[in-house]
Amino acid sequence: MADEKPQNESNESQAEVGESVAPEPNPLVTALLGQFPSDVQHEGEDTAGLPLVRTDVDNVINVLTWLRDNELTKFNYLASLTVTDWTERSPRFDVVYHLYSIAANHFLTVKVGCEDGEGVPSVTDLWGTANWHEREAYDLYGVEFLGHPELERIFLPEDWEGFPLRKDYPLEGPNLELLTRQQAAFRGGRFDRIRGDYEMTEQERQLSSAGIVGSLWTPETETPDPEQSEKPDETSES
């Protein structure tokens, strides 16, 4: 018929109006879905363009073990582990595993949802890198990793109140007495326990702006004049 368009012109028109074209199935995802048809869901790609799948707390160990040991996937490296806090959603948190195969040079992102206080099985028996990753996630989000050999804070003091990367954490933080480098930075001294709202003295600000810290400072050191420090040494001129 006269009003029919050539096939290539029709395809160009679809592209112009932004119609999506289904991507080719990822062989890793296809194999995973074939092994766990009811326990894994394909969620497209993550923000980095990597294939993304989701499983649950009850099946995460079986799924990740298969991904590590299967000859096709060979995910022998846990590149990173992080947490997303959705606050009002149920489950509240997503634990996110970024897997990499050194041998095959491919990536996969796996998400697991968990409620606050529910806990997720530790994967330290699968990847050694999980040890500190899980401690960091616990320290900052409060997600517990069941079976972790040493689940304790890794950045913050043990007496810190709350988990500062949760979205409902107060911006001003808790009112704690913390260990700071008030003395160590300027006098080469020990850590002093002071309040977190400590402010430097005017002399310490001047020393800091002049780049004088630590062992270069003594109680007898005069506060340097930034203008004088920029002037050439006239005594060296002949």
- For residue 214, the model assigns a pLDDT of 46
Q: Are 87 and 168 in contact (CB under 8 A)?
A: yes
- Rounded mean pLDDT, 41-57: 94
Range of the domain at 197: 177-223
Identify whether 189 is part of a domain.
Answer: yes
pLDDT, one tens digit per residue, over 57-98 is 999 999 999 999 999 999 999 999 999 999 999 999 999 999
Identify whether 166 is part of a domain.
Answer: no
CA nearest to 79, candidates 127, 123, 31, 143: 127
Identify whether 89 is part of a domain.
Answer: yes
Identify whether 12 is part of a domain.
Answer: no
Q: What is the DSSP string of 77-100?
A: EEEEEEEEE-TTSSS-EEEEEEEE
Cα gap 166→83, rounded to integer Å: 10
- 140 and 197 belong to one structural domain: no
231 has a pLDDT exceeding 50: yes
Total domains, the chain: 2
Residue 124, token pair as written in the block: 């330290």
180 has a pLDDT exceeding 70: no
Residue 204, token pair as written in the block: 């310490």
